[in-house]
Structure 1
C-alpha cells in the first residue's frame, strides 16, 4: 500500500510558523519542513527536542586542547628543548604563557573542523549525494510542509491547509 503525503507550500515564514501551530493543534503529523533559510523558532513550534551539538563541540574543543598540550610538551619540553628568548625549557608550566595562543588555536581548529564533519554525517550529506528536496522553489523563496495524509480525509485536510494560508497544495503518492 502506497503512503500519501501532502505538500503544502507557503510564501512567508511567519505564515508557516502559524500554520505549523495550527496543524499540530489539529493533531496532524508533520513529516518534514523545507525552508530556504533557517526559520527562528520553528524547532520549538514543531516540538523538536533540543540538539546536543553544543556538547559535542565542547568535547571536540577539549580534544583539541589535549592534543595541543601533549604536542607542545612532547616537542618543546621533552624531545627537543631549546632556549628561545631566555625562557626555561625544562618545565611546561613555566612556558605555558607562551603556549596559550597555540592551545587556543588548536582548540578552535579541532572544534570547528570536527563539527563540520559531524554536521555532514548527522545530516547524511555525503559527497555526490543526490538532493532530496521535493520542490526546487524551497531553495529560493518558498516554504514546504510535508504532512502525512494516511488515515485522514484528504479533502478535509486540503481545505484545512488552505485555511492556514497555504498558497499551493499537492497530494504525493510515495
Structure 2
C-alpha cells in the first residue's frame, strides 16, 4: 500500500534541528530524517526511545569472557597441561593472572564483532543491498525530513516552508 509523504529539504543542520522541534511541537509525526553526517541531539529532538545496544554489548562481552575462560581451562588445564615458566598446570585459579589478557581480548573481540553483526541485522543491511535514500543530495550537503501526509497538503507545505525548508516535494512512499 502506498501513501503520500512530504520530503522537506534543509541546507543547514541547525535549521533542521529547530524545524524538527517545531514539527514535533505541532504534533506531526516525523517518519525519517536523512542527513549526510550525524547530527548531535537529533534523536532526542525526534523523540526516539533510548537504544538497548549497550545491553547487548555487555551480554556479548560476557559471552566472550565465558568462552575465553572455558577455552583456556579446557586447552591449558584439562586437555594439554604444560609447565610454562614454572606455572602450575593443574589449576585455572593459579594461572588466572596469565589468562587475564586473553580474557580481556576475547571479551572485546566478541563484543565488537557481534555488535557489528547485530547492527547490520537490525538495520537490514547486507552486501549488495540497494540504497533506500530518497534523495541523493542527502549524502552530500542536504538534510531531508520525511513526514506522512495526514491532512491538508498545502497547509503542511506552508508550515514546512516557515520552518526553513529550501525545497518541498510530495511523493508516494512505497
* TM, length-normalised to structure 2: 0.97
Q: Map 1:1-174 to 2 at 5 A.
A: 2-150=2-150, 152-174=151-173
**Between Structure 1 and Structure 2, how many residues are aligned?**
173
Displacement of 1:74 in angstroms is: 0.1
Distance in 1 between the 2:85 and 2:32 partners?
A: 60
Unaligned runs of 5+ in 2: none
Indicate the SS of the match to 2:120. helix
Q: Deviation string for 1:29-84 (max 9, x for gaps)? A: 11111111111111111111100000000000000000000000000000010000
**Whole-Å separation in 2 of the counterparts to 1:130 and 1:34:** 16
**What is the deviation of 1:133?**
0.3
Matches of 1:72 and 1:2, distance apart in 2: 56
SS in 2 for 1:165: coil
Q: TM-score by structure 1 length?
A: 0.97
Shift of 1:14: 1.1
Q: Distance between the aligned counterparts of 1:94 and 1:173, measured in 2?
A: 67
| Runs (4+) off by over 2 Å | none
